[in-house]
Protein backbone atom coordinates (compact mmCIF):
# COMPACT_ATOMS: atom_id res chain seq x y z
CA UNK A 1 0.00 0.00 0.00
CA UNK A 2 1.07 3.58 -0.67
CA UNK A 3 3.14 5.27 2.04
CA UNK A 4 2.73 9.04 2.03
CA UNK A 5 3.45 11.65 4.68
CA UNK A 6 2.68 15.31 5.39
CA UNK A 7 5.75 17.55 5.47
CA UNK A 8 6.93 21.04 6.30
CA UNK A 9 6.55 22.60 2.90
CA UNK A 10 8.69 25.48 1.71
CA UNK A 11 6.32 27.89 -0.01
CA UNK A 12 5.81 31.54 -0.99
CA UNK A 13 4.43 34.26 1.20
CA UNK A 14 0.83 34.60 -0.08
CA UNK A 15 1.27 38.04 -1.64
CA UNK A 16 4.06 36.70 -3.89
CA UNK A 17 2.67 33.29 -4.87
CA UNK A 18 1.72 34.28 -8.41
CA UNK A 19 5.10 35.93 -8.95
CA UNK A 20 7.06 32.94 -7.59
CA UNK A 21 5.15 30.24 -9.51
CA UNK A 22 7.02 28.99 -12.57
CA UNK A 23 6.36 26.36 -15.19
CA UNK A 24 8.20 23.06 -14.64
CA UNK A 25 11.91 23.32 -15.35
CA UNK A 26 11.83 20.69 -18.10
CA UNK A 27 9.13 22.14 -20.35
CA UNK A 28 11.05 25.20 -21.55
CA UNK A 29 14.57 26.23 -22.41
CA UNK A 30 16.75 28.91 -20.85
CA UNK A 31 15.81 31.64 -23.37
CA UNK A 32 12.08 31.15 -22.68
CA UNK A 33 12.66 31.08 -18.92
CA UNK A 34 14.77 34.23 -19.06
CA UNK A 35 12.03 36.01 -21.00
CA UNK A 36 9.29 34.89 -18.60
CA UNK A 37 11.37 35.91 -15.55
CA UNK A 38 12.29 39.32 -16.94
CA UNK A 39 11.54 42.04 -14.42
CA UNK A 40 10.44 39.51 -11.79
CA UNK A 41 13.08 38.93 -9.08
CA UNK A 42 10.73 36.51 -7.30
CA UNK A 43 10.33 34.04 -10.17
CA UNK A 44 11.23 30.48 -9.23
CA UNK A 45 13.06 30.22 -12.55
CA UNK A 46 15.96 31.81 -10.62
CA UNK A 47 16.12 28.45 -8.82
CA UNK A 48 14.79 25.92 -11.32
CA UNK A 49 16.46 27.50 -14.38
CA UNK A 50 19.27 29.38 -12.64
CA UNK A 51 21.33 29.51 -15.84
CA UNK A 52 19.25 32.60 -16.65
CA UNK A 53 21.35 34.46 -14.06
CA UNK A 54 24.67 33.34 -15.55
CA UNK A 55 26.49 34.43 -18.73
CA UNK A 56 24.85 33.35 -21.96
CA UNK A 57 26.32 30.11 -23.22
CA UNK A 58 26.91 28.64 -19.75
CA UNK A 59 26.61 24.86 -19.82
CA UNK A 60 23.24 24.18 -18.17
CA UNK A 61 24.66 20.98 -16.65
CA UNK A 62 27.72 22.67 -15.12
CA UNK A 63 28.27 23.06 -11.38
CA UNK A 64 27.99 26.88 -11.43
CA UNK A 65 24.33 26.45 -12.48
CA UNK A 66 23.57 24.25 -9.47
CA UNK A 67 25.53 26.55 -7.16
CA UNK A 68 23.53 29.52 -8.43
CA UNK A 69 20.27 27.63 -7.82
CA UNK A 70 21.31 26.95 -4.22
CA UNK A 71 22.36 30.57 -3.73
CA UNK A 72 19.07 31.89 -5.10
CA UNK A 73 17.00 29.45 -3.04
CA UNK A 74 18.74 30.53 0.16
CA UNK A 75 18.25 34.18 -0.81
CA UNK A 76 14.53 33.61 -1.29
CA UNK A 77 14.38 32.08 2.20
CA UNK A 78 16.46 34.74 3.91
CA UNK A 79 14.51 37.57 2.27
CA UNK A 80 11.15 36.02 3.19
CA UNK A 81 10.00 35.30 -0.34
CA UNK A 82 9.72 31.66 0.76
CA UNK A 83 9.03 30.30 4.23
CA UNK A 84 8.75 26.84 5.74
CA UNK A 85 5.65 25.70 7.62
CA UNK A 86 6.24 25.04 11.32
CA UNK A 87 4.45 21.69 11.34
CA UNK A 88 3.99 18.91 8.77
CA UNK A 89 1.04 19.53 6.46
CA UNK A 90 -0.61 18.11 3.40
CA UNK A 91 -1.47 20.54 0.62
CA UNK A 92 -4.41 20.33 -1.77
CA UNK A 93 -3.65 21.61 -5.25
CA UNK A 94 -6.43 22.34 -7.75
CA UNK A 95 -5.77 23.31 -11.36
CA UNK A 96 -8.45 24.60 -13.73
CA UNK A 97 -7.79 24.71 -17.48
CA UNK A 98 -10.43 25.52 -20.09
CA UNK A 99 -13.17 24.92 -17.52
CA UNK A 100 -11.88 21.46 -16.53
CA UNK A 101 -10.50 21.00 -13.01
CA UNK A 102 -8.29 18.41 -11.34
CA UNK A 103 -7.52 18.31 -7.64
CA UNK A 104 -4.53 16.51 -6.17
CA UNK A 105 -2.76 16.01 -2.86
CA UNK A 106 0.74 17.42 -2.40
CA UNK A 107 2.69 15.12 -0.10
CA UNK A 108 5.97 13.29 0.21
CA UNK A 109 5.96 9.70 -1.04
CA UNK A 110 8.20 6.90 0.14
CA UNK A 111 11.31 6.18 -1.92
CA UNK A 112 11.08 2.59 -0.70
CA UNK A 113 7.70 2.44 -2.50
CA UNK A 114 9.42 3.66 -5.65
CA UNK A 115 12.20 1.10 -5.32
CA UNK A 116 9.83 -1.80 -4.60
CA UNK A 117 7.35 -1.04 -7.40
CA UNK A 118 4.42 0.18 -5.32
CA UNK A 119 4.96 3.41 -7.23
CA UNK A 120 4.78 2.17 -10.79
CA UNK A 121 6.70 3.48 -13.76
CA UNK A 122 5.88 3.45 -17.45
CA UNK A 123 9.04 4.97 -18.96
CA UNK A 124 12.78 4.50 -18.91
CA UNK A 125 14.82 7.54 -18.01
CA UNK A 126 17.74 9.25 -19.72
CA UNK A 127 21.08 9.14 -17.85
CA UNK A 128 21.97 12.77 -18.62
CA UNK A 129 18.62 13.98 -17.25
CA UNK A 130 19.02 11.84 -14.11
CA UNK A 131 22.47 13.28 -13.43
CA UNK A 132 21.13 16.81 -13.82
CA UNK A 133 18.44 16.31 -11.16
CA UNK A 134 20.85 14.46 -8.86
CA UNK A 135 23.26 17.40 -8.96
CA UNK A 136 20.40 19.85 -8.44
CA UNK A 137 19.04 18.01 -5.39
CA UNK A 138 22.46 17.52 -3.80
CA UNK A 139 23.55 21.11 -4.30
CA UNK A 140 20.31 22.83 -3.25
CA UNK A 141 19.56 20.24 -0.54
CA UNK A 142 15.97 20.37 -1.70
CA UNK A 143 13.45 18.74 -4.02
CA UNK A 144 11.96 21.62 -5.95
CA UNK A 145 10.53 19.61 -8.85
CA UNK A 146 7.21 17.90 -8.19
CA UNK A 147 6.53 14.31 -9.33
CA UNK A 148 3.00 13.98 -10.72
CA UNK A 149 1.38 10.70 -9.57
CA UNK A 150 -2.02 9.15 -10.32
CA UNK A 151 -4.14 6.55 -8.56
CA UNK A 152 -7.38 4.71 -9.21
CA UNK A 153 -10.16 6.75 -7.60
CA UNK A 154 -11.00 6.09 -3.96
CA UNK A 155 -14.32 7.81 -3.09
CA UNK A 156 -13.38 8.28 0.58
CA UNK A 157 -10.21 10.16 -0.37
CA UNK A 158 -11.95 12.26 -3.00
CA UNK A 159 -14.70 13.15 -0.53
CA UNK A 160 -12.29 14.09 2.27
CA UNK A 161 -10.28 16.35 -0.02
CA UNK A 162 -13.41 17.95 -1.47
CA UNK A 163 -14.78 18.64 2.01
CA UNK A 164 -11.62 20.42 3.06
CA UNK A 165 -11.76 22.71 0.02
CA UNK A 166 -15.41 23.54 0.73
CA UNK A 167 -14.92 24.43 4.40
CA UNK A 168 -11.52 26.15 4.32
CA UNK A 169 -10.08 29.15 2.53
CA UNK A 170 -7.17 28.59 0.13
CA UNK A 171 -3.69 29.86 0.87
CA UNK A 172 -3.18 30.73 -2.80
CA UNK A 173 -5.63 31.34 -5.63
CA UNK A 174 -4.46 32.97 -8.84
CA UNK A 175 -4.70 32.63 -12.59
CA UNK A 176 -1.39 32.46 -14.44
CA UNK A 177 -0.67 34.31 -17.65
CA UNK A 178 -1.53 31.19 -19.68
CA UNK A 179 -5.06 31.20 -18.24
CA UNK A 180 -4.62 28.24 -15.89
CA UNK A 181 -6.01 28.77 -12.38
CA UNK A 182 -3.91 27.49 -9.45
CA UNK A 183 -5.49 27.09 -6.01
CA UNK A 184 -3.77 25.57 -2.97
CA UNK A 185 -5.16 24.77 0.46
CA UNK A 186 -2.97 23.98 3.47
CA UNK A 187 -4.20 20.98 5.48
CA UNK A 188 -2.82 21.77 8.92
CA UNK A 189 -5.16 19.66 11.08
CA UNK A 190 -3.42 16.63 12.60
CA UNK A 191 -6.54 14.45 12.70
CA UNK A 192 -7.32 15.12 9.04
CA UNK A 193 -3.73 14.44 8.07
CA UNK A 194 -3.73 11.16 9.98
CA UNK A 195 -6.94 10.19 8.20
CA UNK A 196 -5.44 10.94 4.78
CA UNK A 197 -2.31 8.96 5.59
CA UNK A 198 -4.37 5.99 6.78
CA UNK A 199 -6.64 6.04 3.70
CA UNK A 200 -3.69 5.82 1.34
CA UNK A 201 -2.12 3.12 3.50
CA UNK A 202 -5.28 0.96 3.36
CA UNK A 203 -7.08 1.91 0.13
CA UNK A 204 -4.36 2.68 -2.45
CA UNK A 205 -2.30 -0.36 -3.42
CA UNK A 206 -0.35 1.47 -6.11
CA UNK A 207 0.33 4.91 -7.45
CA UNK A 208 1.56 5.58 -10.98
CA UNK A 209 4.07 8.12 -12.23
CA UNK A 210 2.27 10.29 -14.75
CA UNK A 211 5.02 12.87 -15.13
CA UNK A 212 8.40 13.18 -13.45
CA UNK A 213 10.24 9.90 -13.98
CA UNK A 214 13.62 11.65 -13.87
CA UNK A 215 12.78 13.53 -10.68
CA UNK A 216 11.71 10.29 -8.98
CA UNK A 217 14.71 8.29 -10.17
CA UNK A 218 17.10 11.04 -9.09
CA UNK A 219 15.56 11.28 -5.62
CA UNK A 220 16.02 7.53 -5.25
CA UNK A 221 19.66 7.72 -6.29
CA UNK A 222 20.40 10.58 -3.90
CA UNK A 223 18.75 8.66 -1.06
CA UNK A 224 20.80 5.55 -1.85
CA UNK A 225 24.05 7.54 -1.84
CA UNK A 226 23.22 9.20 1.49
CA UNK A 227 22.23 5.85 2.98
CA UNK A 228 25.48 4.22 1.85
CA UNK A 229 27.39 7.10 3.42
CA UNK A 230 25.36 6.59 6.63
CA UNK A 231 24.27 10.21 6.54
CA UNK A 232 20.53 9.60 7.01
CA UNK A 233 18.32 7.70 9.45
CA UNK A 234 14.94 6.03 9.10
CA UNK A 235 12.88 9.21 9.47
CA UNK A 236 15.10 11.44 7.36
CA UNK A 237 13.32 13.64 4.78
CA UNK A 238 15.62 12.23 2.09
CA UNK A 239 13.76 8.91 2.37
CA UNK A 240 10.81 10.61 0.68
CA UNK A 241 10.28 12.68 -2.44
CA UNK A 242 7.93 15.50 -3.40
CA UNK A 243 4.78 14.33 -5.17
CA UNK A 244 1.28 15.46 -6.06
CA UNK A 245 -1.22 12.62 -6.41
CA UNK A 246 -4.37 12.93 -8.57
CA UNK A 247 -7.34 10.57 -9.03
CA UNK A 248 -7.23 9.02 -12.49
CA UNK A 249 -10.76 10.10 -13.45
CA UNK A 250 -9.70 13.75 -13.47
CA UNK A 251 -6.69 13.40 -15.78
CA UNK A 252 -6.28 13.92 -19.51
CA UNK A 253 -3.26 12.92 -21.60
CA UNK A 254 -2.21 14.96 -24.60
CA UNK A 255 -0.12 13.80 -27.53
CA UNK A 256 3.68 13.79 -27.27
CA UNK A 257 5.22 14.33 -30.67
CA UNK A 258 8.62 13.75 -32.28
CA UNK A 259 11.03 15.74 -34.44
CA UNK A 260 14.11 14.20 -36.08
CA UNK A 261 17.18 16.06 -37.29
CA UNK A 262 17.84 14.07 -40.48
CA UNK A 263 16.48 11.29 -42.70
CA UNK A 264 19.31 8.84 -42.00
CA UNK A 265 20.74 9.29 -45.50
CA UNK A 266 17.40 8.84 -47.24
CA UNK A 267 15.91 11.29 -49.71
CA UNK A 268 12.34 12.52 -49.24
CA UNK A 269 11.22 10.19 -52.03
CA UNK A 270 13.07 7.23 -50.48
CA UNK A 271 11.40 7.79 -47.12
CA UNK A 272 7.91 8.08 -48.58
CA UNK A 273 8.43 4.93 -50.64
CA UNK A 274 9.73 2.89 -47.70
CA UNK A 275 6.89 4.07 -45.45
CA UNK A 276 4.40 2.42 -47.82
CA UNK A 277 5.56 -1.04 -46.72
CA UNK A 278 3.98 -0.53 -43.29
CA UNK A 279 1.58 2.40 -43.70
CA UNK A 280 -1.07 3.75 -46.00
CA UNK A 281 0.49 7.09 -46.95
CA UNK A 282 -1.76 9.96 -48.03
CA UNK A 283 -0.74 13.59 -48.77
CA UNK A 284 -3.02 15.98 -46.87
CA UNK A 285 -1.68 19.38 -47.95
CA UNK A 286 0.13 22.24 -46.29
CA UNK A 287 -2.15 22.81 -43.30
CA UNK A 288 -1.57 20.85 -40.06
CA UNK A 289 -4.01 18.03 -39.31
CA UNK A 290 -3.78 16.05 -36.08
CA UNK A 291 -4.34 12.28 -36.08
CA UNK A 292 -8.01 11.47 -35.51
CA UNK A 293 -7.73 7.90 -34.17
CA UNK A 294 -5.37 5.25 -32.89
CA UNK A 295 -2.75 3.94 -35.34
CA UNK A 296 -2.96 7.11 -37.41
CA UNK A 297 -0.03 9.54 -37.58
CA UNK A 298 0.58 12.93 -39.14
CA UNK A 299 4.00 13.56 -40.69
CA UNK A 300 5.42 16.94 -41.69
CA UNK A 301 8.17 16.78 -44.30
CA UNK A 302 9.53 19.40 -46.69
CA UNK A 303 6.61 21.80 -46.21
CA UNK A 304 3.84 19.22 -46.62
CA UNK A 305 1.72 17.07 -44.30
CA UNK A 306 1.02 13.35 -44.79
CA UNK A 307 -1.38 10.97 -43.07
CA UNK A 308 0.16 7.61 -42.16
CA UNK A 309 -2.17 4.76 -41.18
CA UNK A 310 -0.51 1.61 -39.82
CA UNK A 311 -1.46 -1.49 -41.76
CA UNK A 312 -2.66 -4.70 -40.11
CA UNK A 313 0.21 -7.03 -39.38
CA UNK A 314 2.67 -4.25 -38.64
CA UNK A 315 1.96 -4.24 -34.89
CA UNK A 316 0.95 -6.61 -32.13
CA UNK A 317 -1.98 -6.39 -29.70
CA UNK A 318 -0.09 -6.75 -26.42
CA UNK A 319 -0.15 -3.70 -24.06
CA UNK A 320 3.09 -2.30 -25.51
CA UNK A 321 2.85 -3.37 -29.13
CA UNK A 322 -0.52 -1.76 -29.70
CA UNK A 323 0.68 1.68 -28.64
CA UNK A 324 1.16 4.24 -31.37
CA UNK A 325 4.49 5.29 -29.85
CA UNK A 326 5.64 1.67 -30.26
CA UNK A 327 4.38 1.44 -33.85
CA UNK A 328 6.21 4.64 -34.77
CA UNK A 329 9.33 3.58 -32.89
CA UNK A 330 9.55 0.13 -34.49
CA UNK A 331 8.42 0.88 -38.04
CA UNK A 332 9.82 4.37 -38.61
CA UNK A 333 12.28 5.68 -36.04
CA UNK A 334 14.28 2.45 -35.71
CA UNK A 335 13.63 0.69 -39.01
CA UNK A 336 13.99 3.67 -41.35
CA UNK A 337 15.68 6.50 -39.46
CA UNK A 338 18.17 4.44 -37.46
CA UNK A 339 17.18 5.72 -34.03
CA UNK A 340 17.77 2.72 -31.75
CA UNK A 341 17.55 4.37 -28.33
CA UNK A 342 15.34 7.41 -27.98
CA UNK A 343 16.67 8.02 -24.48
CA UNK A 344 20.20 8.78 -25.67
CA UNK A 345 20.06 9.54 -29.41
CA UNK A 346 20.67 13.26 -29.95
CA UNK A 347 19.01 13.18 -33.39
CA UNK A 348 15.51 13.06 -31.89
CA UNK A 349 13.63 15.56 -29.76
CA UNK A 350 10.16 15.57 -28.20
CA UNK A 351 7.44 18.22 -28.39
CA UNK A 352 4.52 18.23 -25.97
CA UNK A 353 1.07 18.47 -27.51
CA UNK A 354 0.27 21.65 -25.61
CA UNK A 355 2.58 23.48 -28.03
CA UNK A 356 0.40 22.49 -30.97
CA UNK A 357 1.28 21.25 -34.43
CA UNK A 358 2.61 24.67 -35.40
CA UNK A 359 5.61 23.99 -33.17
CA UNK A 360 6.42 20.97 -35.35
CA UNK A 361 6.17 23.17 -38.45
CA UNK A 362 8.44 25.73 -36.82
CA UNK A 363 11.09 23.14 -35.93
CA UNK A 364 11.19 21.68 -39.43
CA UNK A 365 10.88 24.91 -41.41
CA UNK A 366 13.75 26.41 -39.40
CA UNK A 367 16.06 23.67 -40.67
CA UNK A 368 16.75 22.52 -37.11
CA UNK A 369 14.92 19.27 -37.88
CA UNK A 370 14.07 17.44 -41.08
CA UNK A 371 10.83 15.63 -40.26
CA UNK A 372 8.14 15.69 -37.57
CA UNK A 373 5.57 13.15 -36.44
CA UNK A 374 2.33 13.90 -34.57
CA UNK A 375 0.75 11.04 -32.60
CA UNK A 376 -2.68 10.22 -31.21
CA UNK A 377 -2.52 10.37 -27.38
CA UNK A 378 -2.55 7.29 -25.18
CA UNK A 379 -5.24 6.89 -22.52
CA UNK A 380 -4.75 6.84 -18.75
CA UNK A 381 -5.99 3.23 -18.71
CA UNK A 382 -3.35 2.25 -21.26
CA UNK A 383 -0.74 3.84 -19.03
CA UNK A 384 -1.98 1.89 -15.99
CA UNK A 385 -2.17 -1.38 -17.96
CA UNK A 386 1.42 -1.04 -19.14
CA UNK A 387 2.73 -0.13 -15.71
CA UNK A 388 0.80 -3.03 -14.15
CA UNK A 389 2.28 -5.44 -16.71
CA UNK A 390 5.80 -4.40 -15.71
CA UNK A 391 6.51 -3.01 -19.16
CA UNK A 392 7.59 0.50 -20.11
CA UNK A 393 6.60 2.78 -22.94
CA UNK A 394 9.11 4.36 -25.27
CA UNK A 395 10.48 7.61 -23.80
CA UNK A 396 8.23 10.66 -23.77
CA UNK A 397 5.00 8.85 -24.53
CA UNK A 398 2.61 10.99 -22.47
CA UNK A 399 2.08 14.71 -21.99
CA UNK A 400 -0.20 15.82 -19.18
CA UNK A 401 -1.88 19.21 -18.95
CA UNK A 402 -2.30 21.35 -17.00
CA UNK A 403 1.16 21.33 -15.42
CA UNK A 404 1.93 21.86 -11.76
CA UNK A 405 3.84 25.07 -11.04
CA UNK A 406 7.32 24.87 -9.53
CA UNK A 407 7.96 26.95 -6.44
CA UNK A 408 4.53 26.75 -4.81
CA UNK A 409 5.55 23.88 -2.51
CA UNK A 410 9.09 22.50 -2.21
CA UNK A 411 10.60 19.83 0.04
CA UNK A 412 13.74 20.68 2.01
CA UNK A 413 16.10 17.82 2.87
Q: For the purposes of burial, counting CB atoms within 10 Å of the CB of 404, is it exposed (0-12), middle (13-18) or buried (19 or more)?
A: buried
Mean pLDDT, range 128-139, rounded to an integer: 90
pLDDT at residue number 396: 78
Count the Cβ atoms, other than its own, within 10 Å of residue 9. 24
- What is the pLDDT of the chain when averaged over all its residues? 93
Domains identified in the chain and CATH numbers: 4-253+402-412 (no CATH), 256-376 (3.30.1760)
Q: φ, ψ for residue 221 (rounded to 5)? A: -70, -40
Mean pLDDT, range 106-126, rounded to an integer: 91
DSSP state of 294: T
Q: Are 2 and 104 in contact (CB under 8 A)?
A: no
pLDDT at residue number 274: 96
Query: Which CB contacts under 8 angstroms, 24+ apart, belong to 56-61?
Result: 60/30, 60/132, 61/128, 61/131, 61/132, 61/135
- Partner residues linked to 279 by β-bridges: 310
Residue 125's Cα: distance from chain center in Å? 12
Nearest to 218 by CA among 11, 10, 22, 26: 26
Give the chain's largest Cα–Cα span: 67
246-286 per-position pLDDT tens digit = 999 999 888 899 999 999 999 999 999 999 999 999 999 99
- Partner residues linked to 101 by β-bridges: 96
- Partner residues linked to 412 by β-bridges: 142
pLDDT at residue number 379: 85
CA distance 125 to 55: 29
Report the residue count for the chain.
413
Mean pLDDT, range 131-142, rounded to an integer: 93
* CA 49, 120, 117, 187 torsion-angle sign: positive
Most confident of 36-50, 336-350, 373-387: 36-50
DSSP state of 53: G
316-344 per-position pLDDT tens digit = 888 888 889 999 999 999 999 999 988 78
CA distance 349 to 355: 14
In which band, very low, low, confident or very high, does the pLDDT at 82 lie, cut at 50, 70 and 90? very high
DSSP state of 81: S
> Is residue 26 predicted with pLDDT exceeding 90?
no
Mean pLDDT, range 287-306, rounded to an integer: 95
> Is residue 124 predicted with pLDDT exceeding 80?
no
Mean pLDDT, range 119-143, rounded to an integer: 89
Element (H, E) at 372: strand 371-374
pLDDT at residue number 322: 84
pLDDT at residue number 394: 73
Rg (alpha carbons) of the chain, rounded to whole number: 22
187-245 per-position pLDDT tens digit = 999 999 999 999 999 999 999 998 888 899 999 999 988 888 888 777 889 899 999 99
110-127 exposure pattern, b = at least 16 Cβ within 10 A, e = fewer:
bbebbeeebbbbbbebbe
CA distance 6 to 194: 9
- For residue 402, whether the previous peptide bond is cis, meaning omega lies within 30 degrees of 0, is yes
Residue 34's Cα: distance from chain center in Å? 21
Amino acid sequence: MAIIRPFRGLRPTPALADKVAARPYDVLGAPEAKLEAAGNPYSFYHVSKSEIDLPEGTDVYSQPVYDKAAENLQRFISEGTLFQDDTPCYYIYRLVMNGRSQTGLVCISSISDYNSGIIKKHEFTRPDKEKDRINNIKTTNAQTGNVFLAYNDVPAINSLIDQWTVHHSPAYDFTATDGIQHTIWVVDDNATNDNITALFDTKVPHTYIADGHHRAASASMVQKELEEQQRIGLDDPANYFLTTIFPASQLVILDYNRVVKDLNGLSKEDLLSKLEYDFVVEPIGHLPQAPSMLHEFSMYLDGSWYRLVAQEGTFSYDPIGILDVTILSNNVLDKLLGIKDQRTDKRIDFVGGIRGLQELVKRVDSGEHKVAFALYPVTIQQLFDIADSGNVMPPKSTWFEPKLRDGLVSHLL
